[in-house]
Structure 1
Amino acid sequence: TVKDYCTRGLHETLSYRKRAEPARPSQVTGEVEARIIALACSEPPEGYARWTVRLLTRRVIELNILESVGRETIRTTLKKQNLSLI
């Protein structure tokens, strides 16, 4: 902050800078989110008592809901809707 103030001035230091590249759009749209939630609310696979984030991630890829997705994306999608897998 001090370096920015010395080189660019007070106004430039306190204002937000434009990003060099625009932010990537989210993979999870409303339709995809609804399908993930419906999957999480369904019966777990044979041999499992409940869904886990890893199981959901694998199933989302198997069902071609998303081509590739990380566990964290699935977790935050569920958390956003206050869903617990317990």
Structure 2
Amino acid sequence: MGQQLRVDLEPDERAKLLHLVNRGTCAARTLTRARILLMADRSPGERQTYQVIGKVLHCHAERISRICRRYVLEGLEAALQERPRSGAPPKITGDIEARLVMLACRDPPDGRTRWTLRLLAEQMIFLGHVDNISNVTVYQRFKKTRSNPGR
């Protein structure tokens, strides 16, 4: 873990964090980060190790180290807010979703009485709207739009 970084909060930053914690209306993760910074602050003369802070707040010392490092290097707002998480972009965008709904509203193919999720996924690939898509992705999209193609 290495050397502990010195967190010296300005009086206005400390007041902002105290107000945030006392009000308690923001996300729990943000409140925990604020409490970590308040406990790691050395300006009032108190000195607590990351292990002690971790025991009090029930979090790992590495997490405390990361938050303190972000405060020292990037500032208060960066230490309080979450960084954007990486992830795969959605396979179904607005245009593709519209085509999927239009397809589901059509009559099913010959020999079928209704559309199934698997049939919709296969038809979207066959028509060239998407390269690949699973029936689970189709299900999740219809679940979000509260659509029921079987009715």
TM-score, normalised on structure 2?
A: 0.47
Structure 2 Cα separation of the partners of residues 59 and 49 of structure 1 = 15
5+ long unaligned stretches in structure 1: none
Is 2:90 the partner of 1:26? Answer: yes
Structure 2 Cα separation of the partners of residues 5 and 15 of structure 1 = 18
| 1:14-55 deviations in Å (ceiling 9; x for gaps) | 974664xx2221111110000000000100000011000011
User: Which residue of 2 is the match for residue 9 of structure 1?
Assistant: 64
Structure whose alpha-carbon radius of gyration is higher: 2
**Larger RCO of the pair (alpha carbons < 8 Å, separation 6+):** 1
Is 2:137 the partner of 1:82? Answer: no
TM-score, normalised on structure 1?
A: 0.78
The Cα of 1:57 is off from its aligned counterpart by 0.7
**Hey, which of these two has a bigger chunk of helix by percent?**
2
Alignment identity in percent?
Answer: 33
How many equivalent residue pairs? 83
Runs of 4+ deviating beyond 6 Å: none
